[in-house]
Structure 1
């Protein structure tokens, strides 16, 4: 079983748990609810990116996948000022990301949520009228390159995979799902 297949199998329950708990219908029912959802995503990504950046296996590969700038653009489009955004709460403490393999396991969750974001983006556009330019850049962060970005991530993950590190990769993904669930589904 490849590491990608193993991750999909061994994180399925955590994935389903967060998807159910998110209550997306409620979170995109109004402009205010949607803004609050983006604030939670910002708090997660801002903290996660700061933690993961120093341990990422390839700096350029990691930098192209940052989401915080998209969230800032969306939050500004929804009326927040830069000084308000930098004071938003962040997801702390994160689980420690000790080494590049742990970062790759954690990135599996973040990159997977980017894939799911395309579905959310369509709903946000349909319900609220936001596009990538007017408040939905985060959920459309890779635009037409979504499939290529996922494939390139999968290739890096497969290259890093070995019996020696695969348990750490899976454990990191599972912990990331837990942290993301707790942060996104907590009432601020």
Structure 2
């Protein structure tokens, strides 16, 4: 079993748990509900990106995948100014990221959610009329490059795989799902 297959298998319960708890239909039913959802995502990504960037095995690779700027752009399009965005609550506590391999495990969750974001972007467009320029840049992620970005991430993950690191990578992915669930699914 490859590391990607192991991650998919061992994080499936956590993935299903967050997907069920998110109640996405409710959270994209109105512009205000959608803005609240983006605010929660912003709080997660801002805190996570700050912590993970310090330990990322390849900083340029990591930074090319950061989403805080997309979320800030969406929130600005939905009426929040830069000062209000910066003051949004951030996710605490974060999962421990004791080594570069732990960042890769955590990135597995974040990059996987980017894949799912393209489906959400279509629903947001259909229900609310938002696109990449008017409040849905985050869920559009990498746009046409989303599949290629996932593939390149998978290659980096597989290159880092070893008997010494795989358990840490999987544990970090599981911890990230837990933190993300608790942060996104709690009522602000």
TM-score scaled by length of structure 2: 0.99
Q: 2 CA distance for matches of 1:95 and 1:7?
A: 17
Q: 1 CA distance for matches of 2:104 and 2:95?
A: 14
Q: Deviations over 1:69-111 (max 9, x none)?
A: 0000000000001000000000011011111100000000000
Q: 1 CA distance for matches of 2:44 and 2:172?
A: 16
1:180 aligns with 2:184: no
Q: 2 CA distance for matches of 1:47 and 1:63?
A: 14
* 1:49 aligned partner: 49
* 2:30 aligned partner: 30
Q: 2 CA distance for matches of 1:63 and 1:27?
A: 28
* 1:106 aligned partner: 106
Q: 2 CA distance for matches of 1:76 and 1:64?
A: 21
Aligned length: 188
* 1:168 aligned partner: 168
Q: CA deviation at 1:113?
A: 0.2
Q: CA deviation at 1:179?
A: 0.1
3-state SS, counterpart of residue 11 of structure 1 = helix
Q: CA deviation at 1:141?
A: 1.8
Q: 1 CA distance for matches of 2:93 and 2:180?
A: 11
1:115 aligns with 2:115: yes
Q: Which runs of 5 or more structure 2 residues have no equivalent in the other structure?
A: none
Q: CA deviation at 1:123?
A: 0.1
Q: 2 CA distance for matches of 1:66 and 1:38?
A: 15
TM-score scaled by length of structure 1: 0.99
Equivalence map 1:78-117=2 (5 Å): 78-117=78-117
Q: 2 CA distance for matches of 1:130 and 1:162?
A: 43
Q: 2 CA distance for matches of 1:60 and 1:72?
A: 20
* 1:11 aligned partner: 11
3-state SS, counterpart of residue 34 of structure 1 = helix
Which is further off, 92-101 or 61-70? 92-101
* 1:127 aligned partner: 127
Q: CA deviation at 1:8?
A: 0.1
